[in-house]
Amino acid sequence: MEKEAFIQEVRRLKAERQAVILAHSYQLPEVQEVADFVGDSLGLAREAQRTRAKVIVFCGVHFMAETAAILNPEKTVLLPDLEAGCSLADSIRPEDVLAWKAKHPDGLVVAYVNTKAEVKALADVCVTSANAVEVVSRLPQDRPIYFVPDMFLGAHVARMTGRKLDLFPGECHVHAGIREEHLKALLETHPDAEFLIHPECGCGTGCLYLKPDAKMLSTEGMVRYAKAAERRTFVVATEVGILHRLEKEAPGKAFFPVKPDAVCEYMKRITLEKVYLSLKEMRHVVRVPEEVARKARRALEAMVAVG
């Protein structure tokens, strides 16, 4: 089947199933183009919570579909490819959180949304890169905090809030691979460009040292900033899927990736054909056991309410 035929079939089946298609900004361009909503983890969680559709086709990775299922127990959540996982979410186990809680009975666990449902169920609050600083800044000052699982985002939050955080040593393999040497090369090539850097990036502190006016932003923050900025040229440090959305929503501006091969192979597992098959065959339904979902829902609802 040709691309245009897939698009028409997806639209027909979407109406037939009373479905909504949600896509992350790192998805393939053709998947973003058939989605009803494209955004970051926080935006997608909010959209999943407010939709009236009976079926949610989640074009993202597994933990995102789990989040949608937790927030919408009465709806059917589909993930077009069950192998669309996440190296960061896989890095931490519930046992890691329980071990810290045993040593810090009065402590608070802040879980980045890039975690499995079982870890979220042990958290006091979930966060995204868009609202992590705001959430942590509101927590009681007299209680220890365990930030899991991304150590680079955690270091950014600690720097911005001035709070001491215990950090789990996890990382996204794509963002961790964006290093200072990649930034230096772009500094020389595009000295007048604005630099937009995701807080999960491994270059973190070093990037701010090399480029003090760089903007540390979530994916959604990058889109908002680029649209409003007077500058016409931007260097972008995150997964390259964001470039399609940036070019679409900020036309006439130029965007250059710090690392052109910063590609999440898990995100790219979702294809237009798989979205079609997901709707046609109602594959693959994502479910979370109610006992886990009930506990995780509390932490996720706290996340959605902030920022």
Average pLDDT over residues 29-44: 94
Q: Is 128 annotated as a binding residue?
A: no
Q: Is 86 annotated as a binding residue?
A: yes
pLDDT at position 213: 86
Residues with Cβ within 8 Å of 32's Cβ and at least 6 positions away in sequence, in order, are 23, 25, 38, 244, 245
Q: Is 200 annotated as a binding residue?
A: yes
Tens of pLDDT along 60-88? Answer: 999 999 999 999 999 999 999 999 999 99
Q: CATH says 174-257 is which class?
A: alpha beta
| Residue type present at position 245 | R
Confidence of residue 202 (pLDDT cuts 50, 70, 90): confident
Tokens of 93: 């186990």
Q: Is 109 annotated as a binding residue?
A: no
Q: Show the 3-state SS of 29-51.
A: HHHHHHCCEEECHHHHHHHHHHC
What ranges do the domains of the chain cover? 3-85+267-288, 88-173, 174-257
Give yes or no on whether 3-85+267-288 and 174-257 have one common fold: yes
How far is C-alpha 131 from the chain's CA centre? 12
Tens of pLDDT along 244-274? Answer: 999 999 999 999 999 999 999 999 999 999 9
Q: Is 219 annotated as a binding residue?
A: yes
CA dihedral 115, 120, 122, 127 (to 10 degrees): 90
The highest-confidence range among 27-31, 42-46, 193-197, 302-306, by mean pLDDT, is 27-31
Q: Is 137 annotated as a binding residue?
A: no
Cα(299)–Cα(262) distance, rounded to whole angstroms?
30
Tell me: pLDDT of 208 over 80: no
Q: Is 24 annotated as a binding residue?
A: yes
Q: Is 230 annotated as a binding residue?
A: no
Q: Which CATH number, 3.20.20.80, 1.10.3720.10, 3.40.50.10800, 3.80.30.20, labels domain 88-173?
A: 3.40.50.10800
pLDDT at position 32: 97
CB 199 within 8 A of CB 218: yes
Q: Is 10 annotated as a binding residue?
A: no
- Classify each residue of 234-256 as buried b or exposed e, where b means 16 or more C-beta atoms within 10 Å of its C-beta: bbbbbbbbbbbbbeeebeebebe
Q: CATH says 3-85+267-288 is which class?
A: alpha beta
